[in-house]
Amino acid sequence: MTKYDLTDLRLFIAVAEKRNLTKGAQDIFLAPSSASHRLKLLEENIGAQLMVREARGMSLTKAGEILLRHAKKVLATLEQMQSDISPYTHGNQAHVKIWANTNAIHTYLPDDLGAFLEINPDVSVTLEEHSSEKIALAVANGDIELGVVAEYDKSADVQLYPYKQDRLVLVVPIVHNLATTKSITFEEVVNYPFVILNEGSAIHTFTMNKAALLGKHLNIRAQVKSFDAVCRMVNSGVGVAVVPYDSVAYQSSLKLTTVELEEPWAKRNLMVCVKKNSEIGTLSQQLLNHLTLSSSSQPKA
């Protein structure tokens, strides 16, 4: 059985990154002689030469490159494990993780999570943006306890609770030739210049996929970081955009109008999802209650 420990892996990574034994040893508070002995034993236990001494320091062999890659993954996994476990180490859950789609993160969740944290000053929240499909799958698999997804993305393995009512609309300047149109299909506008959130956002992927299903590629004139920036770019005449209705409603100072999308996927009522037939942590339950309670006071669009 291979005999080496986490200190050996940390030392190996440090030396490999510094390309110098002495500097690498200093990084993890080991004497150079001790570090040299550990690296020699590591190579013996691995059964392959990992490093080569050169005039300008240390370089990795092919086996060393492979070990470096895996050693970094091992330590990253252990750090993540410790981070995930730490909220429970003192008997009380003081941290909650929630994934949400672009719509929720850029509109409702900041205010609702802010109110929740104000009520619970000793609690911290991790919020990550993902597509509704990925969120529902992660909840169903037990990777996370809470997610906020679009209503149309349903899974047999998750229980859905109403959160917010909203829908995707086309937003255009009031001087645009579509400004007086009441409703339109996505296919009718897919060839227009578009403003869209940056690549990597859930709604970017969603919109690009809808265009691809039509055999089209969006003419993206601008990519920005927020719905606020999207609306401002549309207001400047850069292009049109598909955004949640409420993200436009907040932009009363801009000269914009919305056109309803005649698409079943345009309905984007948001739901909080949990794993079906499974209990969730006390703090997650409190956050679930807070989010679903806030939906009852939401004005209808």
CATH number for the domain harbouring residue 117:
3.40.190.10
The tens digit of pLDDT for each residue in 48-100 reads: 999 998 878 889 999 999 999 999 999 888 887 876 676 565 555 578 899 99
3-state secondary structure of 96: strand
Q: What is the mean pLDDT of residues 239-267?
A: 87
pTM of the model: 0.59
**pLDDT band, residue 2 (cuts 50/70/90):** low
- Residue-level pLDDT at 132: 86
Give the ranges where the chain is alpha helix by DSSP (H).
Answer: 6-18, 21-27, 32-46, 62-85, 102-106, 109-119, 132-140, 186-189, 202-213, 227-235, 245-249, 282-295
The tens digit of pLDDT for each residue in 116-164 reads: 999 988 888 989 988 888 899 999 988 899 999 987 556 568 999 999 9
Tell me the pairing of strands 256-261 and 168-173: antiparallel
Residues 262 and 177 in one domain: yes
Window from 17-26, 33-42, 93-102 with minimum mean pLDDT: 93-102
The tens digit of pLDDT for each residue in 219-230 reads: 999 999 888 899
Residues 261 and 120 in one domain: no
Residue at 300 is within a domain: no
Taking all residues of the chain, what is their mean pLDDT, rounded to a whole number? Answer: 87
Whether 299 has a pLDDT exceeding 50, the answer reads no
Show the domain range for 207.
Answer: 168-266
- Domain with residue 15: its CATH number is 1.10.10.10
Whether 210 has a pLDDT exceeding 90, the answer reads yes
> Which of residues 41 and 91 earns the better pLDDT score?
41
Cβ-count burial of 141 within 10 angstroms (0-12 exposed, 13-18 middle, 19+ buried)? Answer: exposed
Residues 217 and 245 in one domain: yes
3-state secondary structure of 236: coil
* Two tokens, residue 49: 């030469």
Residue at 1 is within a domain: no
- Residue-level pLDDT at 154: 62
Rounded Cα distance between 22 and 32, Å, is 5
Whether 257 has a pLDDT exceeding 70, the answer reads yes
- Of 59, 87, 115, the residue that ends a domain is 87
Per the structure, the count of domains in the chain is: 3
- Residue-level pLDDT at 133: 86
Residues 213 and 146 in one domain: no
* Two tokens, residue 105: 């993160």
- Of 58, 87, 116, the residue that ends a domain is 87
